Chains A and B, each alone.
Chain A
Amino acid sequence: MQIDLRTVAIKPLRQTFDHVARRIGGDKPASRYQEGTFDLQATANFQYRPTWDPEHEIFDAARTAIRMADWYAFRDPRQFYYGAYTLARAKQQDTAEANFDFVESRGLAAGLPAELTATVLKLLVPLRHVAWGANMNNASICAYGYGTAFSQPCIYHAMDQLGIAQYLTRVGLLFGDTDALDEGKRAWTADDAWQGLRRLVEDSFVVHDPFELFVVQNVVLDGLLYPLVFETIVDDVLSAGGGTAVAMLTQFMTDWFGETKKWVDATVKTAAAESAENRALLARWIVHWRDRAAAALLPVARIALGERSDEVVAEVVCQFNARLAKAGVEI
């Protein structure tokens, strides 16, 4: 049975905005993602050139070497506009909070074997600086990238990375205290194990091409770091050694990587499908930065994996290559 509720029906003059209609093949009902994304960024008749970058317009596709006939070919498969994004993160935040509560209220952090605690602190605390770098880089891609379809997810990603840096800080405070944070920063700036990675992160700060920076940070560095640290070391190695609590505290990162890589892959796929030139350029960037990142991550992996590190990193790289091949870039 259907209940037939009646409302006063008025026939609308149109379904959506013209600039949206032009993109979805006519005047049809549009989603909030579409209305909140398409053509939001200015493209024509700019008033003045930036005093900080007079070579370019305020928004300028020429800031990157990637060429697109239409920068709105990019789609976020998650269809994130601000509302959808915050609702998704609020839910994950609830879970993370429950996990922290669970670990704290049952004293699970204190109950961890001392050796494992030392590994957690040595490995995870310096990574808060890597996430901080990722925050800066995504702010940069958002500011200088072209077209809202490409730039919008980057502000969400930037804030996510800040959130991750803050969760890692809480892990540090839970297993240690502010001294652990200080020690983590000391290691990050001085210990040999971290210098390759820190150099890579600092070098990424001076990459000016927003799409290359997207590749360096979101495709390559996170594409190797998250499977290595959160999926392999935390979920497998530490959990097997009695550190399930750590996996609970980093569930946000694992889930987040699983979710965001769909967007990252879709973005690479769209740029690669555009032209052979784009594909070649993406492959060159990816190979260059992948080799640097893999080398930089090796000594980091050793903190937890010791002699197995080469093998595990090689495996992570292998999976990474397969992932990129699926996205249309053979490397």
Chain B
Amino acid sequence: MDMQVAKKKLGLKERYQVMTRGLDWTPSYQKMEDIYPYAAYEGIKIHDWDKWEDPFRLTMDAYWKYQAEKERKLYAIIDAYAQNNGHLNVTDARYLNAVKLFLTGISPLEYMAHRGFAHVGRQFPGAGPRVACLMQSIDEIRHAQTQIHSLSNYNKYYNGFHDFRHMLERVWYLSVPRSFFDDAVTAGPFEFMVAIGFSFEYVLTNLLFVPFVSGAAYNGDMGTMTFGFSAQSDEARHMTLGLEVIKFILEQDPDNLPIVQRWIDKWMWRGYRVLTLVGMMMDYMLPKRIMSWKEAWEVYFEENGGALFKDLARYGIRPPKWLDQISFDKDHISHQAWATFYQYGAAAAFNTWTPNDEEMDWLSQKYPNSFDKYYRPRLEYWREQAAQGKRFYNKTLPMLCQTCQIPMLFTEPGDPTKICYREVDYQGSKYHFCSDGCKEIFEYEPEKYVQAWLPVHQIYQGNCFPEGADPTAEGFDPLAEVLKYYHVEMGRDNLDFEGSEDQKNFDQWRGQATKNA
């Protein structure tokens, strides 16, 4: 045999480079701007895509191997959990409503992330970021599917899960997360990366994912906990990608700074508004609490995020706008949101309730500056009313913010007794906003936000009734018809937890599983 000539030894970094960006070439039969038509219109200047530092080095063979190992474990646990009626081990059936919020509001966004990352993973002229984005794209379809598969078992036994995809495109509060993601996907590829890759995956993920997954762990929900833990190593990759994107863009050209800063301001605010739902979940929907929303914000944003923005200061990035307001509002938003859902509990696809005494005391303790003064009296009043058979349901429709699409439930910065209203006249119409942040985001791109599909406006325009409904007919019940359009089953998916089918079934089944009746 011939002597083998000693080969050049490739380092890990070089090896990964020949396996990814080495595959790319400079085209000559088609122009770069035709192959990558969306790379320039946002005004971001990239001079050298080769300066991209690969945030992780995972070739496909290793990817398949690791991921398959995780899938094997995950699905074994999902199966065992289902076979064992694991759902009866959750702390109390109220907990399931947090899971409903997750499946209807978050899982479809994982799917959107999958398609969004496929889009940017095709469109960036740099081969390194394209590969990283496509890896995230395939991870995101994993997350959508593992969530659906895990929660499918809950759907078999409980209400509110049964038509989550249909609801996402119609139900009023689900337009909040939906419009958030539609906003990101319809933005240019760089903005998408700052919005989702950086602001959402890097800065805010601990405030979204951790509360749900820890909430599951605290409340005996091994189904949700397992997919959450299984996604952890994927999320770690996504976070490093998000951070690399920001640094790369900022290092490429000083002109990129103001554009990126504006996106960070916008997307932190947009993300923060979506997190209102999470805050409410943490403070009101978990029978066994992990920590309060306020504490979570302090730990995960003020401390961790503070360190991050200090680090980014060397690029000229300052912390996002409106942090003073957020800091003031952390005493309030979860209470304001839950009060809104409580009132509109007939139009939601999950059950609502007033906290019990022990829970109220927990809230007083966690929110010494606000709960007893502003929120406890109202909850106690509602509880008394309910005890007298007069459970309060608000039958009017709330005005929605044109940008975040949350009902106008937030209060003035510094004054928790006064609802905050802002408005803008644009092309002969008046647009309404919940905050200075949402107003400013609109003002920068009014042509985008005037397109918003606002659920309340759509109801008033008659677009949210089932086919064949006749609003002029005698005895027409608009709420009932809207619920039909939503596929929300009256009396099963909605209304108070007290007396709900979920409550009754859970108690009966748990009894069946633990007692000799």
Contact = CB atoms under 8 A, between A and B. Distances in A.
Given A83-B75, A185-B25, A206 B134 contact: no
B141 A189 contact: no
Interface in B59-76: 59-61, 63-65, 67-69, 71-72, 74-75
Give the residue among B19, B37, B108, B169 with the most A Cβ atoms within 10 A: B19
A146 B65 CA distance: 30
Give the residue among A8, A14, A51 with the most B Cβ atoms within 10 A: A51
A275 interface: no
27 contacts: A7-B84, A10-B157, A12-B157, A16-B152, A17-B162, A19-B163, A35-B148, A47-B186, A48-B448, A50-B185, A51-B41, A52-B37, A58-B182, A82-B71, A82-B142, A89-B68, A90-B68, A91-B68, A140-B122, A142-B115, A148-B111, A152-B141, A155-B118, A162-B60, A165-B23, A169-B19, A205-B35
Interface in A106-134: 107, 110-111, 128-129, 131-132
Nearest to B10: A178
A135 interface: yes
Given A51-B186, A169-B23, A136 B130 contact: yes
A136 B4 CA distance: 36
Contact of B85 (A10, A93, A159, A189): A10
A310 interface: no
Contact of B60 (A41, A45, A128, A159): A159
Give the residue among B2, B25, B85 with the most A Cβ atoms within 10 A: B25
Contacts of B182: 46-48, 58
A177 interface: yes
B352 interface: no
B187 to A, nearest CB: 6
Nearest to B120: A143
A165 to B, nearest CB: 5
A40 interface: yes
B28 interface: yes
Given A41-B115, A48-B448, A203-B29, A178 B18 contact: yes
Interface residues of B, number: 98
Given A48-B183, A89-B64, A136 B122 contact: yes
A12 B156 contact: yes
A202 B508 CA distance: 64
B189 to A, nearest CB: 8
Nearest to A204: B30
A132 B24 contact: yes
Interface string B62-103: 011101110110110000000111000000000000000000
Contacts of B59: 163, 166
Given A50-B185, A92-B64, A139-B121, 15 more contacts: A7-B83, A8-B513, A39-B165, A45-B458, A46-B182, A93-B65, A132-B24, A135-B134, A136-B122, A139-B134, A142-B115, A159-B135, A198-B29, A202-B35, A206-B34
Nearest to B448: A48
Given A41-B115, A143-B118, A151-B115, A162 B68 contact: no
- Chain A residues touching B, majority SS: helix
A319 B414 CA distance: 75
Contact of A16 (B1, B155, B487): B155
Contacts of B186: 47-52, 58
Contacts, number: 248
B342 interface: no
Interface of A: 7-8, 10, 12-19, 32, 35-36, 39-52, 58-59, 81-83, 86-87, 89-94, 96-97, 107, 110-111, 128-129, 131-132, 135-136, 139-140, 142-144, 148, 151-152, 155-156, 158-160, 162-163, 165-167, 169, 173, 177-178, 181, 185, 188-189, 198-199, 202-203, 205-206
A297 B58 CA distance: 32
B145 A107 contact: no
Contacts of A16: 152, 155-156
Contact of B1 (A32, A91, A111): A111
Nearest to B405: A47
Nearest to B489: A18
Nearest to A15: B156
B32 to A, nearest CB: 10
B138 A93 contact: no
Contact of A52 (B38, B157, B166): B38
Given A52-B41, A129-B23, A203-B30, A17 B68 contact: no
Interface in B319-355: none
B294 interface: no
A55 B29 CA distance: 27
Given A43-B169, A52-B41, A97 B61 contact: yes
Contacts of A155: 114, 118, 134, 137-138, 141
Give the residue among A42, A91, A189 with the most B Cβ atoms within 10 A: A42
